[in-house]
Amino acid sequence: MIKADFHTHTTYCDGKNTPREMVERAWGLGFTDFGLSGHADFSFCDPGFGMSDEALRQYRQELLLLREEYRGRMNLYIGIELDCLGPIQKAEYAIGSTHCVERDGEVIAVDDTARKLEDGVMRLWKGDWYAFVRDYYELEAQVYDRTGCDWVGHFDLLTKFNEGCRYFDETCDDYLEPALTAMRKLNEQGMPFEINTGAMSRGYRSDPYPSRILLRELCQMGGRILISSDSHSVDAIGHGFAQAERLAWECGFRSVLCLRPEGGFREIPL
Ligand SMILES: [Zn+2]
Ligand SMILES: [Zn+2]
- What's the CA-to-centroid distance between 254 and ligand 1, angstroms? 25
Q: What is the pLDDT of residue 50?
A: 92
Q: What is the pLDDT of residue 44?
A: 82
Question: Residues with Cβ within 5 Å of ion ligand 2?
Answer: 81, 230
Contact 151, 183 (CB under 8 A): no
Per-residue pLDDT tens digits of the chain, which is 270 residues long = 899 999 999 999 999 999 999 999 999 999 999 999 999 998 888 777 899 999 999 999 999 999 999 999 999 999 999 999 999 999 999 999 999 999 999 999 999 999 999 999 999 999 999 999 999 999 999 999 999 999 999 999 999 999 999 999 999 999 999 999 999 999 999 999 999 999 998 899 999 999 999 999 999 999 999 999 999 999 999 999 999 999 999 999 999 999 999 999 999 999
Q: What is the pLDDT of residue 39?
A: 97
**Nearest Cα to Cα of residue 196 among 66, 264, 98:** 98
Q: What is the pLDDT of residue 42?
A: 87
pTM greater than 0.95 (yes/no):
yes
Q: At what angle do helices 173-188 and 212-220 cross, to 10 degrees?
A: 40
Which residues share a beta bridge with 101? 108
- What's the CA-to-centroid distance between 66 and ligand 1, angstroms? 24
Peptide bond preceding 210: is omega within 30 degrees of 0, i.e. cis? yes
Q: Which ligand is nearest to the CA of 160?
A: 1
Residue type, 166: R
- In 27-129, beta strands by DSSP E: 33-39, 75-83, 93-97, 100-103, 106-109
Q: Which residue segments constitute the domains of the chain, with CATH numbers given?
A: 4-269 (3.20.20.140)
Give how far Cα 213 sits from Cα of 60, 126, 152, Å.
38, 28, 17
Through-space distance between the first and last CA atoms of the chain, rounded to whole angstroms:
8
Cα separation of 16 and 9, whole Å? 8
Query: In the structure, how many helices (H) and strands (E) does the chain have?
Result: 9, 11
Cα separation of 204 and 231, whole Å? 14
- What's the CA-to-centroid distance between 41 and ligand 2, angstroms? 13
- What's the CA-to-centroid distance between 213 and ligand 2, angstroms? 22
- What's the CA-to-centroid distance between 153 and ligand 1, angstroms? 6
Cα separation of 168 and 159, whole Å? 9
- What's the CA-to-centroid distance between 120 and ligand 1, angstroms? 19
Pairing of strands 100-103, 106-109: antiparallel
Cα separation of 181 and 159, whole Å? 17
